Amino acid sequence: MLFDRSWYNRAGVERVMGFCTEADVEEFFRSVPEFERMLVRSGIVLLKYWFSITDEEQAMRFNMRIADPLKQWKLSPMDVESRRRWEDYTHAKEDMLTRTHIPEAPWWVVEAVDKKRARLNCIHHLLEQIPYGTVEHPAVELPARVRHADYIRAPIPAEMHVPSKY
């Protein structure tokens, strides 16, 4: 099972932007560790990664999006406002990492200024966390096809075909 960061929005975006109360945030912090423990007890391997970039890298990425018409759609009004509130978001992230980092489901921070290396490092780490071994596969034999003398494959009506463009 994979969660994206929106699962933790209560502790980050919602908190910083005022979309929830501090009581809501405290309930989140009370509930999340117990919920994550329940998942782990049920046999789910729960891995939590935080891709971390610097203030300077975020500014550079946002400026690249502003300058590139093909990437401007990636920059929402919420993103623009988050830039102004960098320190508030950083504080909220630090609090969230501390309060939801549990032995059963620890946080792993990936240095992500270099996107390609960050992804490769994360994939490598993730694969090291999953116990796996050789899986025995029985030999597969393709059986002879049964043919019926009275069967004729029906033609597909022309109006049902996707035009061949390539």
How is the chain split into domains, by residue range?
5-132
- Classified by CATH at the fold level, domain 5-132 comes out as Rossmann fold (3.40.50)
Q: Do residues 42 and 101 lie in contact, with contact meaning Cβ atoms separated by under 8 Å?
A: no
Q: Give the pLDDT confidence of 97-132 residue by residue, as tens digits.
A: 999 999 999 999 999 999 999 999 999 999 999 988
Percent pLDDT > 90 in the chain is 90
- 45 pLDDT band, cuts 50/70/90, is very high
pTM: 0.77
